[in-house]
Amino acid sequence: MSEVENFIANIENDAKRDDALVLLTLLTKASSYAPCLHGTIIGFGQYHYKYESGREGDASVIAFSPRKQNLVLYIMPGFSNYAALLDKLGKYKLGKSCLYINKLADIDLEVLTEIATLSVQEMKNKYPCS
């Protein structure tokens, strides 16, 4: 069992664990990257960023975290290009690059897949990703 699979298997809430498994499959397919565990965040792919301030680092191209309160998807380019899709997504809340979902039953998985796929493509166009 991989580190990611082990992490998901140890989620106490059955529904949250099941949703995490669905997201694992969905984001693996949408991104074409293998999952990697970073603390409590499951990331896919990697890119290097450098801000005008000189700060730089590495981050996942797309990621999610099955938190106790909700599922958090990290859509790195943000959501400004996805307004029409968000209108069709279902019940969620947004942060700058975070999509908060209580449970996958609240959203349209086909729309989520489209957002994830477009987000990954946008990141690949902007940064060299591995």
| Strand ranges in 24-122 using DSSP code E only, listed in sequence order | 35-38, 41-44, 47-50, 56-59, 62-66, 71-75, 93-94, 98-101
- Give the model's pLDDT for residue 67: 95
- Give the model's pLDDT for residue 127: 86
- Give the model's pLDDT for residue 109: 98
pLDDT lower than 70: segments of the chain: none
- Give the model's pLDDT for residue 26: 98
| pTM for this predicted structure | 0.94
